[in-house]
Amino acid sequence: MIFEERLLAPGPVPISPQVRAVLARPAMHHRTAEFRTIFVRARERMAHLLAVPGDDVTLLAGAGTTAFEAAFLASVPPGATVVAAHAGKFGERWSLLARRYGHPVVDVSAAWGEALDPAAVAAALRATPGAAAVTVTHSETSTGVLHDLEAIASAARQAAPDALLLVDAVTSLAATEVRPHAWGLDAVIAGSQKGVMLPPGLGFAWLSERAWARLPEAASRHPSFTLDLHAERVRQRQGDTSITPPVPLVLALDLVVGELLEYGIEAWWALKADLNEAVLAGLGALGCPAFAERPSPAVAAVRVPSGLAAPQVGDALLRCGVRVGGGQDHLAATTLRPSVLGHVDAFDALTIVAAFERALHALGSGIEPGAGVATFQARWLASASAARHERPYV
Ligand SMILES: Cc1ncc(COP(=O)(O)O)c(C=O)c1O
């Protein structure tokens, strides 16, 4: 195949040549001093990336959902009531998960595309005395909304000081600001195939000290063998895992998180936000407005022009060599979800807009080719990240 498809979707994301080189290394055994050193360092680096230096970030073979499930089982007592705050497909997942384990669930929702109202979350908690936990998805990848997690956390803590706040940061980690301690979060989970720019296969889970302390006895928790976060924490502190870890992914995690920290995580968040805003501006100039009320830097969800079906535009983009995320559920016909998540630079982001221009032009939408690219360029070049990002590569 001479031409390469460009993956510009909100996960899995493109990975760097350096990561690919690590993944191609000869196999390493995990019960070795060499692996333990790298494993311990990768965990420490993850703790810095999550702004919780010195805390445990537990690595799990699996995905973001695996990590959420493990965090839930570690901290929510069987039978306890859960408040699930959601305004999209991924937020709804945590309501389904809690129900699957037999928990009574109180849903507090907003329309897809809207941001959750912190006051509504607080009201639901006040109306649910004894709720053990509230679940929330920070960056709702199905709608492109970045919920105001800091405000939700503060409102939730005031309304129900004892309820744990369990946060899905699957597409917000390493894409935008997440401050577990400062915001009073109790669990933060993510997966490898998003902001940390690796292939799928690893989940990450951080718990607050009060969440760890909630169910110290195994008998007080839902039984689970491979998802026992408490046991895993003990093993991982020693550089070990209970089950065989995805060794190549751990080696790559160590590398890529080291690079992110060296770049500077705040500069990285700014970069992703600036790129995403430029993409949204460029697509807006093509008649594809942002779908989200409060856009997440992780996903540029847009409506396609009326008269066109989103899958048709998606197919035309593929013919230009660009794969973006499709719309989800009832948004499938009207929205598309390109993304600057992962190993994506300004020219990759520009490619999203250029490909939309070609696709829409090919579909006879009457747009002016160049209008989106010009808007992108103006917005990006005016951004604070542009000067820093476009330094010569070394
Ligand atoms: C916000 C969010 N939560 C959860 C998930 C599920 O993650 P995983 O497929 O890694 O379990 C995704 C996947 O796209 C997501 O975007």
Q: Kindly report, residue by residue over 176-194, the tens digit of the pLDDT.
A: 999 999 999 999 999 999 9
Place of tokens 């009320």: 293
pTM, whole model, 2 decimals? 0.97
- The reply to whether ligand 1 has any atom less than 6 angstroms from the CB of 241 is no
Transcribe 248-293 into DSSP letters: HHHHHHHHHHHHHHHH-HHHHHHHHHHHHHHHHHHHHTTT--B--S
User: How do residues 106-162 score in pLDDT, each as one tens digit?
Assistant: 999 999 999 999 999 999 999 999 999 999 999 999 999 999 999 999 999 999 999
Residues of the chain with pLDDT > 90, as a percent, come to 96
User: Burial, 23: exposed, middle or buried (Cβ in 10 Å; 0-12, 13-18, 19+)?
Assistant: middle
Q: What is the mean pLDDT of residues 348-368?
A: 96
Name which of 27, 42, 354, 329 is nearest 338 in CA terms.
Answer: 354
Return all residues near 1 (Cβ < 8 A) that are at least 6 apart.
none
Q: Is the CB of 65 under 6 A from ligand 1?
A: yes
Whether the CB of 168 sits within 6 Å of ligand 1: yes
CB burial readout 29-40, b (16+ within 10 A) else e: ebeeeebeebbb
Mutate to test the pocket of ligand 1, among 141, 173, 202 (most ligand atoms within 8 A of CB): 141
State the CB neighbour count (10 A cutoff) for residue 197. Answer: 26
Mean pLDDT calculated for residue range 259-272: 96
Sequence-separated contacts (24+) of 25-30 with Cβ below 8 Å? 25/248, 25/251, 27/247, 28/247, 28/251, 29/247, 30/241, 30/244, 30/245, 30/247
Ligand 1, from 72, 90, 139, 146: best to mutate by most atoms within 8 Å of Cβ?
90
* For residue 12, cis peptide bond before it (omega within 30 degrees of 0): yes
Ligand 1 touching residue 81 (CB < 6 A):
no
Banded model confidence at residue 392, pLDDT cuts 50, 70, 90 = very low
The residue-averaged pLDDT of 378-392 equals: 83
Q: Quick one: which H or E segment has residue 323?
A: strand 322-323
Ligand 1 center to 64 CA (angstroms)? 6
Q: Is 12 in the pocket of ligand 1 (CB under 6 A)?
A: no
CA of 160 to the centre of ligand 1 (A): 27
Domains recognised in the chain with CATH numbers: 6-11+265-389 (3.90.1150.10), 17-262 (3.40.640.10)
Please give the distance, rounded to the nearest whole angstrom, from the Cα atom of residue 31 to the centre of ligand 1. Answer: 30
**What are the Cα distances from residue 50, in Å, to 122, 128, 131?**
25, 31, 27
92 Cα: distance to centroid of ligand 1 (angstroms): 11
Kindly state the average pLDDT of the residues 81-94. 98
Give the up-direction half-sphere exposure of residue 252: CA atoms within 13 A in the CB hemisphere: 26
Q: How far is the CA of 170 from the centre of ligand 1 (A)?
A: 6
DSSP class of residue 327?
A: P
* Binding site membership of 80 for ligand 1 (Cβ less than 6 Å): no
Residue 393 pLDDT greater than 60, yes or no: no
How far, in whole angstroms, is CA 357 from its chain's centroid?
A: 27
Pair of tokens at residue 247 = 């060794």
Per-residue confidence (pLDDT) for residue 67, from 0 to 100? 98
